[in-house]
Amino acid sequence: MDIQLKKGLLDVCVLSVLREGESYGYKIVADVAPYIEISESTLYPILKRLESSAMVTAESRAYNGRLRKYYRITEKGLERIREFIEDAKEFAKIYRFIDNGGRS
């Protein structure tokens, strides 16, 4: 899969997990991994980028004597998911055109 396309998909996959409620790194990887390949080393730059663009917020809390960072989606993150869904509809139309050999 094209790396830029995958990058965009991973962003929206992470946001989709957070739409269900706050979560932390390891759990996000576990939730996304059955659908698209992702590792913790890939996830954390994504979370940092989403946080810097105000699509998620982060809060550190103690868990079993350690600090764990929990992430929560913002309204801007929810809007990105809605935009992606609209883009995907257009992409599906283009895919059908290509799959039909350039015929409508």
| 3-class SS of residue 72 | strand
**DSSP helix/strand/coil, 24:** strand
Q: In this predicted structure, what is the pLDDT of residue 2? A: 67
Percent of the chain with pLDDT over 90: 85
Segment 53-74 shows an average pLDDT of 96
Instruction: Give the pLDDT of residue 102.
Output: 83
pLDDT band, very low/low/confident/very high, at 3 (cuts 50, 70, 90): confident
Give yes or no for a contact between 55 and 77, defined as CB atoms under 8 angstroms apart.
yes
56-63 and 23-24 as β-strands: parallel, antiparallel, unpaired?
A: unpaired
pTM: 0.87
Alpha-carbon distance of 67 to 59, in angstroms, equals 10
CA angle, 33 then 31 then 12, to 5°: 80
Could you read off the pLDDT of 73-91 as tens digits, one per residue? 999 999 999 999 999 999 8
| Domains observed in the chain | 3-99 (1.10.10.10)
